[in-house]
Structure 1
Amino acid sequence: MSFSLNTKNNKRLIIFALIFVLSFFYFMPTFSPHRSLSHKLQVPSSYQTNEGTQFTFKNLNEDSQQAKILVLTPLKDAVPYLDRYFELLDQTTYPNHLLSLAFLVSDTTDNTIEELHRHAETLQNRFWWNRFHDIRVFHKDFKFDLPNDQRHKYEMQPLRRSVMARSRNYLLSSALRDEFQYVAWVDVDVVRYPPTIFEDLMAANEDVVVPNCLLDREDGAFYAYDKNNWQETDQSMEIQKGLDEDFVLLEGYYEFPTHRYLMVDMPTHLGLDYKVPLDGVGATFTLVKANVHREGANFPAYPFHHQVETEGFAKMAKAMGFSVVGLPSYLIYHIQNH
C-alpha cells in the first residue's frame, strides 16, 4: 500500500498532530529551580494607541472558573510539613494548570529548599494535564533567628510579625504577574481543608476572604487557632484612643486583652456561605483578589492602626475601600506544632 502526503486523510492527520504538539507546549507548566527569575509579563489583552500600549483586564466575575490563582507560602524550617502541604493542594478540585505556586525560604536551618525542589520535580514530571502551571522557589534571609519555643511569646511578637511582613511583601513582589486574578496565602502547616476550597472562597465574591481556622487536635475538640480574624468592638476602639501610635495590638495574649470579637468565637451553624465583615485577618488560608495587592495593599512591617503584617493588611485594605470578610462556618485545621 502506498502512502501519499497529498491525500486528504493524511493532511488531516498532519494538522491534528501539529495542533497536539503546539497544545502540549502551550499548556506545559514549568518549575524554576532558581532562587529568583525574571519573567516576561503576560496580559489578557492589549491594544495600541498613539500614546503607547494600554492594557485592559478581564472582569473577574465573568468567568471565575478560568481565573488563574497564585498560591504564596513563606517558609522556614518547613520540611516536616511539605508532604501534607503538597498533598492537599494536589487534591483540590480547582484545575492544577490554573494554579501557580511560589515560595520564599528565609533563615531556614534545615533542607527546606532541597525538599521543595524534590517535591516540585516529582509533581511537574507527571503528565501535562495533571501538573501545576508553574512552581517557583525564592530565597532571601532576613537574619532573624528565633527559636521555636520563643516564637509565640508576647514580647517577641511585634518584631517577629514585622519580619514576617517583610517576607510576605518580598514574596508577593517577586511572584505576582499580570496573568493572575487571585492570590491565595496558604500556611505550610495547615493540614485539613475541603478540596473545593478555592471555588468556595471565590464564590464569596469578596476582595479578601478567610475561612475559620481551628487547631487539629487528636481528641477532635473545637479549639481556636487563627485568632487574627476579628471584628473591632466599641470596647476595643475605646482602648485604642489612649495608645501610642507605635503600639502593636496582639490577639490571644493575657498581657494586653483587646476585647475584640474573634471569628473563632462566632457561631458556626449558619451555613458555609454565611459571611461576616472583619477588621483583621490572619493568613492560614486567605484568598485575595489580585488587584487588591496591585493597588498597594500589602503587609505593613510597621504599626498601621496599631497592627502589623496580616492584620495590618486587613486594616489597609479596608481603608482603601476593599471588602474584608470571614466565613465562620467554613472550617479548616492547623497542625498543633507549638
Structure 2
Amino acid sequence: MTSGVSEKTSSSSSSLLRIRCNKRQGIALAAVVFMLFLSLFTFARPATGPCGGRTIRTFNEAVAFSRASSPQQQQQQQQQQQQYHQYRQDGGGPIFRNLNDLEATANAKDNQEHVLILTPLKNAASYLPRYFELLDSMSYPKHLISVAFLVSDTTDNTVELLQEQAHVFLNRWKDRYHDITIYQKDFSFELPEDKRHTFELQPLRRSYMARARNYLLTAALRDEHAWVLWLDVDLVEYPTTVLEDLQSVDVDVVVPNCLRETEDNSFWGYDKNNWQETDRSLEMQKDLDPEYVLLEGYYEFLTNRYLMVDMPTHHSKLEKVPLDGVGATFTLVKAHVHREGANFPAFVFQHQVETEGFAKMAKAMGYGVYGLPSYLIYHTMNG
C-alpha cells in the first residue's frame, strides 16, 4: 500500500516537474522572440547619418521605442526612414566634411556663413532681457546664428530664463535661430560681488573665467561655424549691423571700442583690456618674473600700455589699428583661429591670462588682432 502511494507521488512529482520545465521553456522562448522583435527596431535605425537617427542602447529605450507613436511621430519616423534608405542607396558611409570649403570672409552674409555666439554667465538674470533684445535686433540672418551659454556657479534663475527665451527663439515661424544650447558647468569658485574687481584677486578670477570660456568653446564649436563671437551679457547698446560691420574688416580677431553707459552720455572707457604694447611697457616686462600677471586699469601697477579707450574716435568707424591684447565684451574671431589652438590660457602666458592671453597666443601663432577705436558700443555701469 505504501509502495503504491509512493509510486503515485513520484509520478505526480514527475508530471509537475515536466509542467514546470515546459513553463520555463515557454517563458524563455517568449523572451527570446520578444527580444528578437525589439532588435528589429533597435538596428533598423542608424547610429549616425543624415537622418539624425540614434542608437537604442538600453532595454527601456527599446520598449519605449516599440510603443505606439503619435501620427506626427509616425510621419517623422517615415521621413527619417526614407532619408536613411536614400542615404544607403547613395552609398552612405562615414560623414565627410571638407573643412577646406569652410571660410570666414568679408561678405559673410552673402556667403551664408554661420556665426556661433558664445556667452559665459553667472547670476545674470537681470541682464538677460536687454541681452536678448539686442541679440534679436541684429540684422544678420537668424538661421545662420547659433547661440551657446555656459552657466557656472549661479544662484539665481538664469537657467530658467534662458530656457524660456530659447523656446521662443527656436519655435517661432519667422527668423528662427539655427541653434541655441545651454551648458552648465560649476567650478565651485565663489567671490563676493564687491571683491570681483579688486587687484589682488584678478589673476585667480581671470583664470577661472578662462576655464569657463574654454569649456564653452570646446563644447559648442561645430563644423559649420565660420565665425565665433564672444558677447558679454551686460552690454546695453550696439548697432544692429555690428556683425556685418566687423566681418567686413576681414581680419582674424577684431573688437569694437567698448565704453561705459553714463546718464550724461559722457565718454568713459570700459574695456581696458584692448591695448597696444609700447616701448616702455616692453622694457618694463624684461625685469618681471615670468609668472607675474599684468592687469590694466589698476593704479597698483601701471603697465604703460596704450589703451584703445584712450585712442582718437573721430576717424572712420571701420578704421582698424593693431592690438596686442583684447577683452571679450564683443570679440569677433574667425573660427579657424580657435580650431588651430588659440584659446584662453588659464595659466600665465607672456604675463597674461584669459582674453589678453588669447590675443598674445593668437599673435604668436601669426594671426592678426585688431581694434576699431571709432566703432563704439556701450556696457552697463556695473564695475
Matched, 1:174 2:174: no
Match of 2:305 in 1: 260
Q: How many residues align?
A: 288
Match of 1:336 in 2: 381
1:63 CA displacement = 4.9
1:58 CA displacement = 3.4
1:60 CA displacement = 2.8
Matched, 1:225 2:270: yes
Task: List aligned pairs for 1:5-154, cutoff 5 A.
Answer: 55=98, 56-61=100-105, 63-65=107-109, 66-127=112-173, 129-154=174-199
TM-score under structure 1 length normalisation: 0.83
Match of 2:41 in 1: none
1:120 CA displacement = 1.0
Quick one: distance in 1 between partners of 2:205 and 2:106? 40
More strand by share: 1
Quick one: distance in 1 between partners of 2:333 and 2:280? 29
1:123 CA displacement = 2.1
Q: Deviation per CA, 1:180-234: give whole Å up to 9, x if none.
A: 0000000000110000000000001000000000000111110010000000000
Q: Which one has a bigger Cα radius of gyration? A: 2
| 62 and 272 in structure 1: CA distance in 2 versus 1, 3 angstrom threshold | closer
TM-score under structure 2 length normalisation: 0.73
Given that 2:293 and 2:353 are in contact with CA atoms closer than 8 Å, whether structure 1 keeps it comes out as: yes
1:131 CA displacement = 1.3
Match of 2:202 in 1: 157
Q: Deviation per CA, 1:125-178: give whole Å up to 9, x if none.
A: 211x31111110000000100111000000000000000000000000000001
Given that 2:259 and 2:309 are in contact with CA atoms closer than 8 Å, whether structure 1 keeps it comes out as: yes
Given that 2:107 and 2:247 are in contact with CA atoms closer than 8 Å, whether structure 1 keeps it comes out as: no
Matched letter for residue 93 of structure 1:
S
Report sequence identity in percent: 64
Which of 317, 326, 333 does residue 272 from structure 1 map onto? 317
Task: List aligned pairs for 1:198-209, cutoff 5 A.
Answer: 198-209=243-254
| 135 and 150 in structure 1: CA distance in 2 versus 1, 3 angstrom threshold | same
1:80 CA displacement = 0.4
Q: CA RMSD in A?
A: 1.5
Quick one: distance in 2 between partners of 1:53 and 1:333? 42
More helix by share: 2
SS in 2 for 1:130: coil
